[in-house]
Amino acid sequence: MRLLLTAFLLISHSLVLSCNLVDVVHVSDEDIAEAVFRFQIERCYETNPHKVYFLSLKSNDPTSEFIARFKPNGPWVRRRSQMSAEFTDLASGERGIVLSVEKLTRISETQFQVDGACVAGGLSMALSIQ
């Protein structure tokens, strides 16, 4: 049993490594922005989570295809333009948070620097991830 478990761990570890090495080449700026937005949804205002998140990508609304990446699970994700001046969803009236990714800089094939922010009403949190 112990030998089988050790073999499974070695095989699963090598699969993860090979997948990561293959996927690095195909990472787009949108993939990085999605990862940052998911990080922001999980971490920004985690003590006071909201139901609606309004996304801004490089000071513009993300495309419909990009927004669709967030549909299968989790909170509502909307475009920034779907928010009122009072930080509420124009359709539901639900209060939300603006999440932005303003700058994506590819440092190398495996490294990016991302500047973004989380804004809830008068409160805000800026972040730079590298």
Consecutive 10-residue averages of pLDDT for the chain (130 residues): 28 27 66 93 83 94 94 83 92 92 87 89 55
Q: Is residue 22 part of a domain?
A: no
96: containing domain: 27-129
Q: Is residue 69 part of a domain?
A: yes
Q: Is residue 10 part of a domain?
A: no
Question: pTM higher than 0.85, yes or no?
Answer: no
Q: Is residue 8 part of a domain?
A: no
Q: Is residue 81 part of a domain?
A: yes
**Cα–Cα distance measured from residue 21 to residue 122, given in angstroms and rounded to the nearest whole number:** 42
Q: State residue 122's pLDDT score.
A: 59
Q: Is residue 108 part of a domain?
A: yes
Q: State residue 93's pLDDT score.
A: 92
Query: Domain tally for the chain?
Result: 1
Q: Is residue 3 part of a domain?
A: no
Q: State residue 74's pLDDT score.
A: 66
Q: Are 27 and 51 in contact (CB under 8 A)?
A: no
Q: Is residue 38 part of a domain?
A: yes
Rg of the chain over Cα atoms, rounded to whole angstroms, equals 18
Please report, to the nearest 10 degrees, the dihedral formed by the alpha carbons of residues 50, 43, 114, 17 taken in order: -130
